[in-house]
């Protein structure tokens, strides 16, 4: 029987997927700017610094920039080696295939070069995840790791789940298995970036890691909640929210231009609101006119999103402001 990771798709997950897809569309539509390469370099440095900081590395973005430029810095040798390895790994991101076990092992060998003896090999002993003096997760026995990883990689190769969801599921399952003696957190986050970059190349330059670092306690709490529930949904929700916010952080900050009808609609979208309530609040009797002149333009512009995107015609359907919608709503309020 084919391995199937346990996860449940809920309304929060589907709404976040819709928001991210809309934001990716807007970002992909942006023209290439003259400073695009510089911004990618900055985001890559932020990514490396964030991922290493989660694991206790003390280097700043300025120090990692200096290492990237070939300069010498005064810092613990281990921290410098970790940074050099991580920069080298992300440089090779385009060469690897997400479902390849050999590529996974090669990436780990490069990431942990000079840091552990068995870099590029699965662990040979038991390992637990500690929180202070307490063991919060005991990983599967070492003799099961190879099969578990092959099953997970095979699932990744054949799943019909969209990459946004599949990458989160893989990330959680990878951390649960904890296949290596060290470097599991860095590898899990790296491989999620790789999976997403095969879907949309822009994800190779979105600094998700720095946001995860800023919400490190929530990151570990989401992993723990998923383990306790035997369902990776809590972790999926957390990572999707990080992805959404990371994408929004790199979208050029341009004030959304909205039609008067859409601006009027946004004023009444407080929390989750049904179509009927919005139409009544605007004093509109014609449902078709409301949908064509108010609702649809707001949805197409990514200013509002559905609570049930998988069932657009559901009688329980409601709408809420996206991050872009909140921005547009604030601008409209100021200029009104």
| Residue 43 zone, left/alpha/beta (φ > 0; ψ -120 to 50; rest) | alpha
Collapsed DSSP state (helix, strand, coil) of residue 137: strand
185 is in an annotated binding site: yes
106 is in an annotated binding site: no
In the chain, how many H helices and how many E strands? 16, 5
**What are the Cα distances from residue 145, in Å, to 148, 149, 209?**
5, 6, 26
Rounded to whole angstroms, the maximal C-alpha distance in the chain is: 72
Q: Which of 8, 11, 16 is nearest to 229 (CA)?
A: 8
160 is in an annotated binding site: no
206 is in an annotated binding site: no
132 is in an annotated binding site: yes
Known catalytic residue: 178? yes
Among 171, 178, 205, 213, the one annotated catalytic: 178
2 is in an annotated binding site: no
250 is in an annotated binding site: no
334 is in an annotated binding site: no
Token pair recorded at residue 282:
């605007």
First to last CA, the chain: 61
302 is in an annotated binding site: no
DSSP assignment of 202-249: GGGG--HHHHHHHTHHHHHHHHHHHHHHT--HHHHHHHHHHHHHHHHH
Q: How far does Cα 105 stand from its chain's mean position?
A: 22
Phi, psi of 102 (to 5 degrees): -65, -40
135 is in an annotated binding site: yes
92 is in an annotated binding site: no
DSSP assignment of 74-126: -S-HHHHHHHHHHHHHHHTGGG--TT-HHHHHHHHHHHTTTT-TTTTS--SS-
311 is in an annotated binding site: no
Tell me how many degrees the CA angle 36-167-217 measures, rounded to the nearest 5: 85
CB 324 within 8 A of CB 256: yes
133 is in an annotated binding site: yes
136 is in an annotated binding site: yes
CB 261 within 8 A of CB 210: no
Binding residues: 129-137, 182-189, 219-220
Binding residues for ATP: 129-137, 182-189, 219-220
Query: What residues are labeled active site?
Result: 178
């Amino acid at each position: 029987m084919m391995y199937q990771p346990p996860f449940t798709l809920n309304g929060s997950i589907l709404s976040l997927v819709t928001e991210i897809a809309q934001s990716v569309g807007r970002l992909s539509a942006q023209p290439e700017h003259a400073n695009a390469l510089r911004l990618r370099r900055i985001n890559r440095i932020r990514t490396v610094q964030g991922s290493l900081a989660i694991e206790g590395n003390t280097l700043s973005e300025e120090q990692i920039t200096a290492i990237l430029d070939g300069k010498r810095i005064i810092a613990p040798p281990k921290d410098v080696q970790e940074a050099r390895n991580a920069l080298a790994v992300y440089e090779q991101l385009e060469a690897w295939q997400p479902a390849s076990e050999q590529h996974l092992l090669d990436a780990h060998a490069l990431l942990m070069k000079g840091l552990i003896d068995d870099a590029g090999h699965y662990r040979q002993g038991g390992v637990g995840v500690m929180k202070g003096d307490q063991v919060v997760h005991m990983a599967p026995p070492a003799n099961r790791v190879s099969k578990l990883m092959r099953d997970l990689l095979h699932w990744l190769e054949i799943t019909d789940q969209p990459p946004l969801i599949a990458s989160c599921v893989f990330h959680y399952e990878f951390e649960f298995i904890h296949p290596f003696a060290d470097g599991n957190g860095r590898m899990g986050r790296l491989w999620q970036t790789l999976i997403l970059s095969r879907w949309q190349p822009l994800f190779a330059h979105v600094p998700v890691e720095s946001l995860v670092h800023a919400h490190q306690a929530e990151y570990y709490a989401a992993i723990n909640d998923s383990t306790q529930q035997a369902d990776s949904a809590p972790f999926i929700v957390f990572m999707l929210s990080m992805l959404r916010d990371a994408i929004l952080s790199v979208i050029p900050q341009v004030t959304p231009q909205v039609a008067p009808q859409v601006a009027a609609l946004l004023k009444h979208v407080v929390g989750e609101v049904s179509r009927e309530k919005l139409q009544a609040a605007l004093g509109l009797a014609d449902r078709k006119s409301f949908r064509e002149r108010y609702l649809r333009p707001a949805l197409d512009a990514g200013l509002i999103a559905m609570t049930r995107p998988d069932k657009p015609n559901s009688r329980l359907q409601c709408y809420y402001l996206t991050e872009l919608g909140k921005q547009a709503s604030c601008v409209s309020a100021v200029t009104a």
